[in-house]
Amino acid sequence: MKITVLFASPNKNGSTAILTEHFKKGAEESGHSVEVIDVCKINVNPCIGCVRCGYEGPCVQKDDNAIVRKSLLNSDMVVFATPLYYYGLSAQLKIVVDRFCAYNSSLNSKHLKSALLTVAWNADDWTFDALETHYKTLVRYINFEDMGMILGYGCGSPSMTKQSNYPEKAYKLGKSL
């Protein structure tokens, strides 16, 4: 299986990166190929809502969204890897997700598998409620098959994350595919 990870943390050595590395290791040990796209390092502009794409492209904007599109449409699975920022996706990932508009029909017909890897400083039981709802709505709308969520409560720093069981959970999720 070909897996695309949309890595969306501006902190390339932070807690999100730890979960991503462990997930990738598990998936690759199970024979899958994993491409990690650092969406914080590519140039993807926000959707301008012109709908000239007709929901199937091409987009009028000439930016790096073509990289994401090509990878996703050649994949069997997408993994959203994001820190929790004010109870939602990072802005960088939100921009990429909004640009799904230009290839919405193709994404829907692919029936990709999906997963969510996320971390937060907060450890309250409601910490991930809004992000979980957003992710589950994407799964439903785009016809993804949810393979799991790793919700890293209390992972406010890399040392906190390394001491938790979330890296092992991310590894096991990757390995189980």
What is the pLDDT, as a whole number, of residue 54?
Answer: 87
- Three-state SS for the chain is CEEEEEECCCCCCCHHHHHHHHHHHHHHHCCCEEEEEECCCCCCCCCCCCCCCCCCCCCCCCCCHHHHHHHHHCCCEEEEEEECECCECCHHHHHHHHHHHHHHHHHHHHCCEEEEEEECCCCCCCCCHHHHHHHHHHHHHHCCEEEEEEEECCCCCHHHHHHCCHHHHHHHHHHHC
What is the pLDDT, as a whole number, of residue 58?
Answer: 86
- β-strands 145-152, 113-119 pairing: parallel
Mean per-residue pLDDT for 117-143? 97
d(CA 22, CA 160) in angstroms, rounded, equals 15
CATH architecture of 2-176: 3-Layer(aba) Sandwich (3.40)
Spatial neighbors of 7 by CB under 8 A, at least 6 apart, are 16, 17, 20, 36, 37, 38, 39, 40, 81
For the chain, give the percent of residues with pLDDT over 90: 95
Q: In this predicted model, what pLDDT tens digit does every residue of 90-111 receive, in sequence order? A: 999 999 999 999 999 999 999 9
What is the pLDDT, as a whole number, of residue 133?
Answer: 98
What is the pLDDT, as a whole number, of residue 57?
Answer: 78
Q: What is the mean pLDDT of the chain?
A: 96
Q: In this predicted model, what pLDDT tens digit does every residue of 34-49 receive, in sequence order? A: 999 999 999 999 999 9
What is the pLDDT, as a whole number, of residue 119?
Answer: 98
Confidence check: pLDDT of 55 > 90 = no
Map out the domains of the chain as residue ranges. 2-176
d(CA 33, CA 42) in angstroms, rounded, equals 21
Q: In this predicted model, what pLDDT tens digit does every residue of 2-31 receive, in sequence order? A: 999 999 999 999 999 999 999 999 999 999
Confidence check: pLDDT of 63 > 90 = yes
